[in-house]
Structure 1
Amino acid sequence: MTDTVVQPWSAGSWTTPPAEAVEDGPDLLVTAVEGSDAWRHTSYGFVHDDAHALLAPLDAAVEVTFDAGFDQQFDQAGLMLRVDAETWLKCGVEFSDGIPQLGAVVTLGRSDWSVAPVPDWAGRRVTVRASRDGDAVTVRARVDDEPSRLVRLAPFPPGATVLAGPYCAAPTRSGLTVRFTRWATGPADTALH
């Protein structure tokens, strides 16, 4: 991302405080509370709004980098954009069906979920990027220094005040600690592809 501004971890506020958040040099180690998640209604019938998201105001684009070193069902980390409890987007890597899955959940009253298996991303450094323009958010992701891939083009309310930043959750276990290595903001993408 050109014209990038790296955000200090102190720039954000937690939606729900994690069990622990500790700075380790330039990195942030976040330990999720067991049972934490973000989801609204669809298929499962429940509402969870206690994922650990460290958010600050978003103008255009945001990137979060983290280590995908987790291996328990529904362990997840990445990036969250949030307007309110019924309007948000989370994107990143979630461990599901025995492998890491690259995906996004878009919630506009009700949640949806799109995933693609990325078994070769296990234990590697992942960067997720969301770029907001007009009535849409474009989500891209990459592993290490490989090229970014398009994850999702999703509708999102134009003109709404949006907060964004790193997030993680551990719906099924205790002890998930995610290493976040970078949080940056910058201008919106100029092209979809």
Structure 2
Amino acid sequence: MKSSNIPWSQGTWTTTPVSAREQHDCLIVVAEHGSDYWEKTLYEFEHRNGHALLAAWEDSHAIEVTFRLASLAELYDQAGVMLWHGREQWIKAGVELNDGVPHLAVVVTDGYSDWSLSPVPEWVGQEVTIRASRMKDAVIIRARTQDESWRTVRVARFPYPTGKQAGPFLCAPTRAGLEVVFTRWVHTDPDTELHADPPAEE
């Protein structure tokens, strides 16, 4: 597998965070209190003020974002990767704190949002990578820690061959002061098969 780092400076924020600084090749970001992405379903509100650092994304590459979980401490603190086609067509995939437990969380939105959750209490304090690779009309979302192999999180419809962007995101719907350290943002080889791990690094 051949990976290519994406410079933090290459992305553009959807909503400017409280602060964002580079340190030792990492990007350290502080989220605004009340930041989130959600469209209508169940709660009937539209939140479009989350923080996503986006750059162009082509089907010839998978996208991977790595970040540290240590700072996720309050309800709905979240970070991961945002896949973006428009204000009402996007997917956010990452880790979200729910009822005191970190969960793998994916929100798929096409006019309306849905939300899937899977608890990962064993991931507390670890460094996590979220991966997205588009295949046909769908995106395959996988996740791992530095000590584990890939697990498939979700296959979701994302039928946009062009006009896509992707990159790190974070939101802090319920509190001020969430600071997330992103350690890696790369393009890499795409998935070749749903029921097989991504290509191994050379």
TM-score by length of 1: 0.97
Q: C-alpha deviations, 1:40-62, integer Å up to 9, x for none?
A: 00001000011100000001310
Q: Distance in 1 between matches of 2:16 and 2:124?
A: 26
Q: Secondary structure at the match of 1:59?
A: coil
Q: Distance in 1 between matches of 2:181 and 2:136?
A: 32
Q: How does 1:149-188 map to 2 (within 5 A)?
A: 149-188=151-190
Q: Which runs of 5+ in 1 are unaligned?
A: none
Give 1:42's aligned residue: 41
TM-score by length of 2: 0.93
2:27 partner amino acid: L
In the TM superposition, residue 36 of structure 1 has moved relative to its aligned partner by 0.1
Q: Distance in 2 between matches of 1:183 and 1:4?
A: 10
Contact 1:134 1:158 in 2 (8 A): no
In the TM superposition, residue 145 of structure 1 has moved relative to its aligned partner by 2.8
Q: Distance in 1 between matches of 2:32 and 2:187?
A: 27
Contact 2:75 2:100 in 1 (8 A): yes
In the TM superposition, residue 122 of structure 1 has moved relative to its aligned partner by 1.2
Q: Secondary structure at the match of 1:111?
A: strand
Q: C-alpha deviations, 1:136-177, integer Å up to 9, x for none?
A: 000000012310100000001232411000000000000000
Contact 1:126 1:142 in 2 (8 A): yes
Q: Distance in 2 between matches of 1:133 and 1:145?
A: 27
2:190 partner amino acid: A
The runs of at least 4 aligned residues of structure 1 exceeding 4 Å deviation read none
Q: CA RMSD in A?
A: 0.8
Give 2:117's aligned residue: 115
In the TM superposition, residue 25 of structure 1 has moved relative to its aligned partner by 1.2
The total of aligned residue pairs comes to: 192
Q: Distance in 2 between matches of 1:162 and 1:183?
A: 16
Give the fraction of aligned pairs with identical amino acids, expressed as a percent: 51
Q: Distance in 2 between matches of 1:37 and 1:185?
A: 25
Q: Does 1:16 align with 2:18?
A: no
